[in-house]
Structure 1
Amino acid sequence: MVNGVTVKSCEYFVCGDEERQHYGSRAAPSSCHCNTACQATVPAGLTDFITGKISTIKPSGHYCQKGENVTIEVTAPGAILAPGMICFNTNTAALAGCMTLPATPYLLDQVHPDFLLLRTVALGVITWHSVLPTLEWVEAHVPSCVLTHVRRGGNQSTPGIDCESMHQAHHNILAGAGLVLGLRLAGSSNNQAFDVLGKYTTTSTIVILRG
């Protein structure tokens, strides 16, 4: 249980009947209330909803199962964002560690790019006061293997590296960090934040226009 919300209650929103399959996972965060301090441990079964590998729980609804695994397309968004919102600004190390991004190309390739964005957002929300309006803070979220590949202009011929996966990971992680930075300093008229977000917005616009 975290803040009075059990994994079973989160399961209600990310699993179950077909109707909830479409919108329930997004509704999970709004169902959570930050009434008490977060526990120091990750709730049993939470990582199942994020990774899709059942280790501790068996979901009650077959719509969120794919064989012996959980359908993370349904469960992961809520399972990532709900703990972040529950444990807003608590610096809970266990949950922050759960949101930390994979550090190798192989492991990164196992995670949907958009889930990398969500995990970056959740990590920033949990460690709210660590958010800084600097390029260094934003890029610190990007695994070194991704930065190395992108900065040297890696291409599809790089042995053992999926070029498209690396670039998708890079853009999604930067987008997540930028979103957290924007939320953290919204309305502050912080010129540093403006410059940092402006840089990444310009870069992203160029990438989009190049197609």
Structure 2
Amino acid sequence: MTARTYHHGNLRQVLLDHAWRTLDVDGLAALSLRQLARDAGVSHGASARHFRDKQALLDALGIAGFAQLNGDLATAAAGPAPFEERFRRAGLAYVSFAVEHPAILANMYSAKHHADASADLVQLSHAGMAALVDLINDAQHAGAVLAGDAAELALVAFAAVHGVATLAVDDLLNGTSWHDAAEATISFIWRGLADPTSAVGTSR
């Protein structure tokens, strides 16, 4: 990549793509704005026009991460499958993202809680939970899920799925595959949510 990229107006994306790969493969300690500029074939000053400092870059990576994760979750939870299957697919999509991109996910959450977190990052970070609340609300209205505070139910479900993801990333599943652990956890959560008197929204 050469300085010509900057004149074409896409240097910011080039730097962001390099940063994503570096963080994803080598971790946060390997991420350097000066090295990214060298990799892109531009001066450090040119890169600074797009990212004033490392935290601004981490914020942008957080936005990119949540955008990708939210897209994965939305695709997984899309109808017209039964609610149980949509819930299952969304949970597996979350754990899969965490396992494939642990450093990216860690940065997403740390960047959103930084004092300088951008409004865009904060907004995107809430979208996944909002979508889960909507899914549970819809399932309740259809009679597939028991009545209750949808936001509270969504929080409990997220906590369990995120817990499996954390155990998988930290290699604490004692030989159980992340997929099997996630399937078991998601199935257990759904049994707690589902209305046992209704067959609506189930895959059985």
Q: State TM-score, norm by structure 2.
A: 0.32
Greater relative CO, 1 or 2 (CA 8 Å, sep 6+): 2
More helix by share: 2
Asked which structure has the greater CA Rg, the reply is 2
Please, what TM-score do these two structures have when normalized by structure 1? 0.31
